[in-house]
Amino acid sequence: MRLNLPNSRSIIETILVLLLLLALLFALYDVLKVFFGVFTFALIFSVSFATPYERLANAMGQRRKLASTLYAIVLIIIVALPVVYIVSAMGRHIKDVIQAYADIQTKGLPPLPETLTGLPFVGSGMEDFWKHLQENPQEALMGYETQIRLVLHRIVTGSAGVLGTALQFVLGIVISAILLAGGDKVMRPVKTTLQHLLGRRDGLLLLDAATHAIKGVSIGVMGTAFVAAFISWIGFVFAGLHFKILLCALVFFLVLIQVGPLLVWLPLVIILAVDGHTGTAIFAAIYGLFVMLIDAVLKPVLIAKSGGKLPFLVLFIGVVGGLAAWGFTGMFKGAIILALFYTLFNSWLERRSMTMKPAAEPGAGEFI
């Protein structure tokens, strides 16, 4: 068999072009992977707030840039206030922590308050352990080194993660404002690409499924954050706590980024118990568990109910699986992936059924 040189040369050139394109895609991934979290938040905000933004732009006489600026400022203030409060609170108390550490080094551990030692069931055990810790700290903590290091590591990485997520939120809001100001012109290349690759019908179906998935997860996450903050505010009022609005803002922000309300309610319980408000501390502990239960149950229900035509189970599996795999942004990624797979699978089934319809159906007594 003679070798067709022009055809062989064209195959080699095609392979080289594909390899070059693959190398460019890998390089593009390395460049953009730092911004994946920011782009994810930008996509979430732009899809979730598209309708309110259009109403704002219409109210401002279609001055879209001015509407985008106002939209970005309002959302950044909502996100930034809790973070500023956390940082300022940490800055105020860091000197107290350093001073307390110096006092412990010179004078030893202080005795436990009577409110803690007098607690039922656990008070005597806490008092015995504390006395052992005062007399011989190394022996008392022996065997707990790994747990202590793990807790400290979680505190440090958790604080850094909260600040990093807040920064991604802010950058995502700014980029989403730019996308919203562009309007349909921004989505035109995406629609054209999907229609070119998958056909007009399937391309629009995929885009619609991804939009419904993002809206469903956004409504679920933000709705749960609002409900958790409101219910927490009721609990703060009954407990007679100060700074209720700031505490509610913290609950909203921590639930929004999937850290949960535990970081607000647990310190409150400890502070109330140390200050001698045992009854209020017990109420806060029970009420905090109730808020965490609402956070765990309400979120998947709202997400699934807000997914448009997408089934409950598809969005639920996508949200839970994505959250386990990739964290906060994984909820949106998992929901989008499952929604796209479900849409493509249904489209394939419809096409198969359409191609099988013209075939003659077997009569009675016939076999296939």
Torsion, CA 194, CA 200, CA 205, CA 208, rounded to 10: 70
At 1, the pLDDT band (50, 70, 90 cuts) reads very low
DSSP 363: -
115: Cα separation from own chain's centroid: 38
d(CA 311, CA 304) in angstroms, rounded, equals 7
Q: Is 298 exposed, middle or buried (0-12, 13-18, 19+ CB in 10 A)?
A: middle
At 25, the pLDDT band (50, 70, 90 cuts) reads confident
Angle formed by the axes of helices 50-59 and 36-48, nearest 10°: 60
pLDDT tens-place string over residues 162-221: 566 677 778 888 888 888 888 777 777 777 777 777 677 777 777 777 777 777 777 777
pLDDT tens-place string over residues 243-283: 777 788 778 877 876 777 888 888 888 888 777 777 888 88
Residue 60: other Cβ atoms inside 10 A: 13
Amino acid of residue 133? L
Would you state the pLDDT for residue 365?
A: 47
Looking at residues 20-28, what average pLDDT do you find? Answer: 87
**Integer CA distances (angstroms), 113 to 271, 272, 274, 278, 283, in order:** 12, 12, 7, 12, 20
Would you state the pLDDT for residue 16?
A: 85
pLDDT tens-place string over residues 39-48: 878 877 887 7
Q: Is 216 exposed, middle or buried (0-12, 13-18, 19+ CB in 10 A)?
A: buried
pLDDT tens-place string over residues 151-165: 666 555 555 555 666
d(CA 219, CA 177) in angstroms, rounded, equals 19
Extract the tokens encoding 188. 């035109």
At 127, the pLDDT band (50, 70, 90 cuts) reads confident
- Closest C-alpha to 194, from 212, 176, 208, 175: 208
Which residue in this structure is represented by tokens 């055990």? 125
Residue 167 sits at φ, ψ, to 5 deg, of -65, -40
286: Cα separation from own chain's centroid: 25
Q: Cβ contacts of residue 29 below 8 Å, gap of 6+?
A: none
pLDDT tens-place string over residues 313-336: 777 788 778 877 777 677 777 877
Q: Which stretches within the chain are classed as H helix? A: 5-32, 36-48, 50-59, 64-107, 114-117, 123-135, 137-140, 145-182, 184-198, 200-239, 244-256, 262-274, 278-305, 312-326, 328-356
Q: Cβ contacts of residue 349 below 8 Å, gap of 6+?
A: none
Would you state the pLDDT for residue 360?
A: 46
